[in-house]
Amino acid sequence: MVGKMLRFMRKSRNYNQAELSKKVHYARNTLSQYETGTIQPSFDTIEEIAKECGYVIYFEDINTKKRFKTKDIDRKDIEQNK
């Protein structure tokens, strides 16, 4: 599923893999492997690719519909909610 989303974001920006690889500083082959699911990117990598393609990743609480991005969370908040 992650690979399909990465491919969708890349194509929506009309980038080919070579163009995007230059912008995010990953080998074209690595991007290809992410898209096919051969290897799994880290969440930071997913966010970086999304940002370059003009997307932002956020989380939504299904009950309250409150949305937040990872940058909105302070590390101490995560530790306190365990």
DSSP-derived 3-state class of residue 60: strand
Please give the CATH number for the structural domain made up of 2-80. 1.10.260.40
Helices (H) and strands (E) counted in the chain, each on its own, are 5, 2
10 Å Cβ neighbour count for 20?
20
Confidence of residue 70 (pLDDT cuts 50, 70, 90): confident
Tens-digit pLDDT profile for residues 4-63: 999 999 999 999 999 999 999 999 999 999 999 999 999 999 999 999 999 999 999 999
10 Å Cβ neighbour count for 17?
18
pLDDT at 80 over 80: no
pTM score over 0.85: no
Domain boundaries, the chain: 2-80
pLDDT at residue 72, rounded to an integer: 78
